[in-house]
């Protein structure tokens, strides 16, 4: 059994690779390998360790993004199952911006998701660029009418990504876990082992330690 913490990304690009390497060298007791998608093997890791999940967040839809791809929370859980993450894993930390807060109203987010689903699979097909331009215009107009990221206080708001992720874990038989997320943008710079937030748009500064803002640390079970 491997008694190390581990960092995982659904799809690694150059930026994610750099940030994962920063975490591997800066966070405590880290395994030295970047884990990716459903093709890696997490079964030998001690479930009492910490799994760090890294991706970009989204400010209007319940999505994690990286490597020009977008993932819903249940898709991350599906990949972790394929990667054989033990069902009794204890600690999961989401390095995903806004994962701990609502990023829109339920109705507006659904409209955006519907527009996203209409995007042509082949952008080079006949008429595809015209359709993409029309969808982009509709998307921007719809997005402008949406809500800003905010604490989840009403059922009219979109459920936070971390809450959706937690529900997907439970529905797939995971037990005894805790998911830690942040109700703010995450400053993905972990070289000194400190989890930091980007709070410029909230009257703060980039790189403020998350531990200085316990009100922005959200846990889910």
Q: Where are the domains of the chain?
A: 6-104+149-220, 106-146
Q: What's the pTM?
A: 0.91
CA pair distance 46, 153, nearest whole angstrom: 36
* Strand, coil or helix: 8: strand
pLDDT in tens, the chain (221 residues): 999 999 999 999 999 999 999 999 999 999 999 999 999 999 999 999 999 999 999 998 889 999 999 999 999 999 999 999 999 999 999 999 999 999 988 898 888 888 888 888 888 888 878 888 888 888 888 888 888 898 989 889 999 999 999 999 999 999 999 999 999 999 976 778 899 999 998 899 999 999 999 999 999 99
- In the 8-state DSSP scheme, what is residue 102? B
CATH class name, domain 6-104+149-220: alpha beta
Task: Report yes or no: 53 and 8 within 8 Å, Cβ to Cβ.
Answer: yes
* Look-up of token digits 């952008």: 123
CA 121, 20, 180 angle in degrees (round to 5)?
A: 90
Measured in residues, the chain has a length of 221
Euclidean distance between the first and the last CA atom of the chain, given in angstroms as a whole number: 25
Structure confidence at residue 12 (pLDDT): 97
Structure confidence at residue 117 (pLDDT): 86
């Amino acid at each position: 059994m491997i008694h190390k913490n581990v960092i995982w990304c659904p799809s690694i690009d150059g930026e994610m690779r750099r940030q994962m390497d920063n975490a591997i060298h800066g966070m405590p007791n880290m395994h030295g390998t970047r884990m990716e998608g459903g093709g890696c093997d997490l079964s030998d890791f001690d479930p009492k360790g910490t799994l760090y999940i890294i991706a970009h967040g989204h400010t209007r839809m319940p999505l994690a993004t990286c490597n020009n791809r977008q993932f819903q929370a249940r898709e991350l859980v599906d990949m972790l199952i394929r990667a054989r993450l033990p069902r009794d894993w204890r600690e999961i930390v989401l390095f995903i911006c806004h994962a701990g807060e609502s990023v829109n109203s339920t109705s507006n987010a659904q409209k955006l998701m519907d527009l996203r689903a209409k995007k042509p699979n082949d952008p080079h097909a006949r008429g595809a660029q015209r359709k993409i331009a029309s969808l982009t215009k509709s998307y921007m107009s719809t997005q402008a009418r949406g809500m800003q990221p905010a604490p989840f206080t009403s059922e009219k708001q979109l459920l936070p990504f971390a809450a959706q992720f937690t529900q997907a874990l439970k529905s797939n038989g995971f037990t005894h876990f805790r998911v830690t997320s942040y109700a703010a943008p995450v400053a993905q710079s972990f070289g000194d082992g400190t989890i930091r937030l980007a709070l410029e748009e909230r009257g703060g500064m980039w790189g403020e330690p998350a531990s200085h803002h316990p009100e922005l640390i959200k846990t889910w079970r």
